[in-house]
């Protein structure tokens, strides 16, 4: 007997990490908006307050992040590591983020890609989150024993900029064409007004999503890159590929 809408279990939360207050919105905000509007809880973790940015104070950027998260339908917390532009890969940081994973107990985790040609905090945080996802499932880690171990289902990376897209790696394209989703994502990006004073990042991200949509036959799509091979129970979920020409 297949589960009905009433008996189908609630999906596990989506957990997204960003090095700076705008990373999640610009890199995968459309995916967040789509999932929350489909009934999945989403929690965002920002690991600095943009202290080294050319525009905007830490207080203003934190306020912008809170507004953006609300527009996406997500909750938000800040976890201070080393500060903006000072992030280092440390076991203590991986343990701190593993504790967040154990607390939130997500099914899917999103983090910045590991490509080097971007803000150095981005790939470093991606590697820290990758390590944290492993530590979260190891029951014997002394620093994490306050909460039970948790194994996530899937770790995927998002690209904040075109330069951050992993070369030679086929992405998973998530259809975010719903007008309400696009509107919420656009508003969330626009909430980071301090960062839009020097460059139209909103137009850049919408254009990227439009190109991904055109190549896959939908209005807008965002790309995610899985850390591990995906596993399917059958071919049924594999509806089609992006090749449309």
Q: How many CB atoms lie within 10 A of CB 1?
A: 4
Cβ(189)–Cβ(144) under 8 Å? no
Q: Which two tokens stand for residue 200?
A: 């139209």
| Structure confidence at residue 244 (pLDDT) | 66
Q: What is the mean pLDDT of the chain?
A: 94
Q: CA dist 243 to 70, 213, 217, 220, 240, Å?
A: 35, 11, 8, 15, 9
pLDDT digits (tens, 9 = 90+) for 144-198: 999 999 999 999 999 999 999 999 999 999 999 999 999 999 999 999 999 998 8
- The structural domains of the chain, with segments of one domain joined by +, span 14-226
Tokens 């960003």 found at: 18
Architecture of domain 14-226: 3-Layer(aba) Sandwich (3.40)
Cβ(47)–Cβ(83) under 8 Å? no
pLDDT digits (tens, 9 = 90+) for 203-244: 999 999 999 999 999 999 999 999 999 999 999 888 788 876
pLDDT digits (tens, 9 = 90+) for 12-25: 999 999 999 999 99
Cβ(225)–Cβ(166) under 8 Å? yes
6 pLDDT higher than 60: no
| pLDDT band at residue 1 under the 50/70/90 scheme | very low
**Dihedral Cα 35, 31, 19, 151, nearest 10 deg:** 50
Cβ(225)–Cβ(172) under 8 Å? yes
In terms of DSSP H, where are the helices of the chain?
A: 23-37, 58-72, 91-104, 121-135, 179-190, 201-216
Cβ(141)–Cβ(49) under 8 Å? no
Cβ(173)–Cβ(216) under 8 Å? yes
């Amino acid at each position: 007997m297949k589960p009905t809408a009433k008996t189908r279990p609630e999906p596990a939360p989506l957990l997204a990490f960003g090095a700076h207050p705008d990373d999640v919105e610009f890199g995968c905000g459309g995916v967040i908006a789509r999932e929350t509007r489909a009934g999945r809880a989403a929690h965002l973790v920002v690991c600095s307050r943009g202290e080294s940015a050319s525009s905007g104070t830490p207080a203003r950027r934190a306020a912008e992040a809170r507004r953006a998260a609300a527009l996406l339908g997500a909750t938000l917390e800040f976890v201070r590591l080393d500060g903006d532009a000072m992030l280092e890969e440390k076991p203590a940081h991986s343990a701190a983020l593993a504790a967040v994973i154990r607390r939130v107990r997500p099914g899917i985790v999103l983090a910045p890609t590991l490509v080097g040609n971007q803000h150095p905090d981005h790939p470093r945080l991606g590697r820290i989150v990758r390590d944290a996802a492993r530590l979260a499932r190891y029951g014997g880690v002394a620093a994490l024993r306050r909460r039970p171990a948790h194994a996530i289902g899937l770790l995927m990376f998002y690209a904040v900029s075109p330069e951050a897209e992993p070369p030679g790696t086929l992405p998973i394209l998530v259809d975010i064409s719903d007008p309400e989703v696009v509107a919420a994502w656009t508003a969330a990006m626009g909430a980071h007004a301090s960062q839009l004073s020097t460059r139209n990042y909103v137009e850049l991200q919408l254009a990227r999503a439009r190109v991904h949509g055109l190549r896959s036959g939908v209005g807008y799509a965002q790309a995610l890159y899985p850390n591990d091979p995906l596993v399917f129970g059958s071919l049924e979920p594999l509806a089609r590929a992006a090749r449309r020409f």
